[in-house]
Amino acid sequence: MPLNNAISLIKLLFVKDKELYVFIHRITGYYPRNINLYKLAMVHRSKPVKLDNGRWANNERLEFLGDAVLDNVVADFLYTSFPGKHEGFLTSTRAKIVQRESLNRIGNSLRLDTHVHALTHSSSHNSYICGNALEALVGAVYLDQGYTRCRKFIIDRLIKKHFDLNDLVKTEQNFKSRLIEWTQKYRITIEFELVDSYSDADKNPVFRTAVILGGIYASDAVGYSKKESHQSASKKALERLQNDQAFCEQVLSTALI
């Protein structure tokens, strides 16, 4: 048994948060050095905790850091895995991996919900709590274990275990890119108009975006980020173009000469 693991097992006999300690090891493959980082990663902003210095805190700072580390590692991994692929392909594939829906699916699969501390109504309303906690967990691993180990965790435990790269490459989920490609093909103007922004009951920012094709309203949708609302509205617009022939013909009639 490696010396570090032996020392970690001895420490386990004396730590207060044994359940979380073992849980983190099962997920990451590493024994936590600073368990407080992981405890904070599981704190949703609806239920902040008071630190020893008297400051109230939640996992949003770790989430911010984890988001940046994820983007970096996934970009590096795809660049190495797909030599010769163009920038558009790499960007689109990375977006599929780091999008909220994917991260939330992984977070649920890892059962992060069993350790996240959040108000009950927030947990039931905000479907992305596990995805946000996963980003915070990545941030905690980065600070606790360093970049090299964090990179290994992301690639081996998140990407390779939860994604089939062959299927991922074949399945196009970037609805906004698909819609833009369609408008370029038929020379149709496209606009994404932010029609509303507000905060929900849990003070999460919500954005409503409308898609305008050839000056004609196509669809609108909400999301917890502008990017998410763009994707959802684009998906609706594509479905309408496919299923509503009269609408599709109306849009095509606006084609630029």
Catalytic residues: 67, 135
Q: Classify burial at 80, counting beta carbons within 10 Å of its beta carbon; exposed 0-12, middle 13-18, buried 19 or more.
A: exposed
Cβ within 8 Å of residue 173, ≥6 positions away: 95, 96, 99
Strands (E), the chain: 49-50, 56-57, 190-199, 205-213, 216-223
**Residue type for 252, please?**
L
Identify which of 40, 29, 25, 26 has the alpha carbon closest to the alpha carbon of residue 143.
40
Q: Is 233 helix (H, G, I), strand (E, B) or coil?
A: helix
Structure tokens at 121: 């109504």
> How far apart, in whole angstroms, are the C-alpha atoms of residue 63 and residue 41?
8
